[in-house]
Structure 1
Amino acid sequence: MRYAQGCGLTAAQRTKREQVRLRAAELFARGHGDIEVARQLRVTRMPANRRHRAWAQRGSTALASKGPTSLPRLSQEQFARLRDALLRGPAAHGWADRHWTLARVKTVIGRMFHIFQRYGS
């Protein structure tokens, strides 16, 4: 999974990204443009441009971390159970093929932990 436990960035990753954004604010304050900031921070021009616009409108505070977008709904033990269930494959959960989709994973989570409304399988 891209993010830690599938539920967003870790605190250390959020801090690192915030440091990059705040470094961008310093560079913008010194008169550097989007392309130069993107090159120095090793990002593409698009996020550098978004950061520049946010900084220009609201200052450095616009680039500060806002914390996690949400807290995980599953405990570490539940994540471990889910991982084991997913490793058994879709066939173990009633699907004929061997491909996981987001909808199928959501269905398995709902069945195991009763946290999502079911909109069908």
Structure 2
Amino acid sequence: MAEARRMRAVELFEQGRSHAQIAGMLGVRPESVRRWKRQWEQGGATGRAPKLDDAQVEKVRAALEQGAQAHGFEAESWTLERVGLVVERGTGVKPARASVRRLLTGRLGWSQQRPQRRAVERDESEIARWVTHEWPRIKRGQ
């Protein structure tokens, strides 16, 4: 959200809007708008520079692609905490939870996945039989 606000401010800078107008439109303080404009004029960046450079991000990507168990975790699923530990071990940078989420979804292009939880005892053929034979009988009231 903050990044989108800063990008919108850049569009408004380019339209020639005043600091006060931009601040009012975006619901921020004029000091923030002045700081964003100064950063934009100095090189185009409007936000804080990322803590990880591109080489470090690629190092993290390679580590994550090895799988969670390769890094000593019992299950093969990644959590934000686990990814944060891998980032810290591999780069020396201890990221905040929100930074880990941005790294995964933004710079690495990964999406959030949730494993489907199913009972180990689940019997697909018995479920199919019940749906085709038992459920219609129950539905008819017999």
TM-score interval, smaller chain: 0.3 to 0.5
TM-score (norm 1): 0.44
Higher alpha-carbon Rg? 2
If asked which structure has higher relative contact order (CA below 8 Å, sep 6+), I would say 1
TM-score (norm 2): 0.39
